[in-house]
Amino acid sequence: MSSTQANYFAGAFDPKQLRRSILAMAKAGNAVHIGCSFSLVEILAVLHRDFLRYPGNDPDHPQRDYLALSKGHGVMAQYACMLERGWLDDSHVARYFSDGSALMGLSDSRTQGLEVTSGSLGHGFSVALGLALAAKRSGSQQRTFCIIGDGESNEGPIWEGALLAAQHKLANFITIVDENGLQAMGSTADIMDLGAMEAKFASFGFEAAVVDGHDETALHAALTRFCDGQDPRPKALIAKTVKGKGVSFMENNNAWHYSRLTDETFAQANRELED
Partner 1 sequence: MREVFSKFLVDLAKKDERFILLTGDHGYALFDELRRACPDQYLNCGVAEQNMVGVAAGLARGGYRPFVYGLAAFIPTRVVEQIKLDIAHDGLPVVLFGDGAGFVYSTLGTSHQCAEDIACSRAIAGLDVYSPCDDVEMAWALERAYAGQRPSYIRIGKADVGAVHAQPMGPDAAGLCPLAGASNQPLALVATGSMVALARDLAAEVPASIAAYSLPLIKPLPEAALIALAQRHQAVVTLEEHSVFAGMGSAVCEALSEAAPLPIKRVGIADRYSKYCGSYAYLREEHGLTLAQVRQVVQDFSQRQGLALAG
Residues that bind partner 1 (CB under 8 A): 109-110, 115-118, 120, 122-123, 125-135, 137-138, 156-157, 160-161, 163-164, 167
**Closer Cβ to partner 1, 22 or 128, answer by number:** 128
For residue 165, the minimal CB distance to partner 1 (Å) is: 10
**What 3-state DSSP class applies to 243?**
coil
**Closer Cβ to partner 1, 138 or 230, answer by number:** 138
For residue 124, the minimal CB distance to partner 1 (Å) is: 8
Q: Are 79 and 17 in contact (CB under 8 A)?
A: no
Beta bridge partners of 174: 145, 235
For residue 127, the minimal CB distance to partner 1 (Å) is: 4
The Cα 136–Cα 107 span in angstroms is 25
**Closer Cβ to partner 1, 164 or 238, answer by number:** 164
Q: For the chain, what is the total number of helices (H) and then of strands (E)?
A: 11, 7
Q: Beta strand pairing status for 182-183 and 186-187?
A: antiparallel
For residue 147, the minimal CB distance to partner 1 (Å) is: 15
For residue 161, the minimal CB distance to partner 1 (Å) is: 5
H/E element, 148: strand 144-149
32 CB-near residues (< 8 Å, 6+ apart): 26, 105, 257, 258, 259, 260
Q: Are 150 and 194 in contact (CB under 8 A)?
A: yes
H/E element, 16: helix 15-29
Identity of the amino acid at 27? K
153 CB-near residues (< 8 Å, 6+ apart): 177, 194, 197
**Closer Cβ to partner 1, 24 or 236, answer by number:** 236
For residue 243, the minimal CB distance to partner 1 (Å) is: 25
**Closer Cβ to partner 1, 36 or 165, answer by number:** 165
For residue 227, the minimal CB distance to partner 1 (Å) is: 19
The Cα 141–Cα 223 span in angstroms is 16
**Closer Cβ to partner 1, 16 or 168, answer by number:** 168
Identity of the amino acid at 24? A
**Closer Cβ to partner 1, 69 or 131, answer by number:** 131
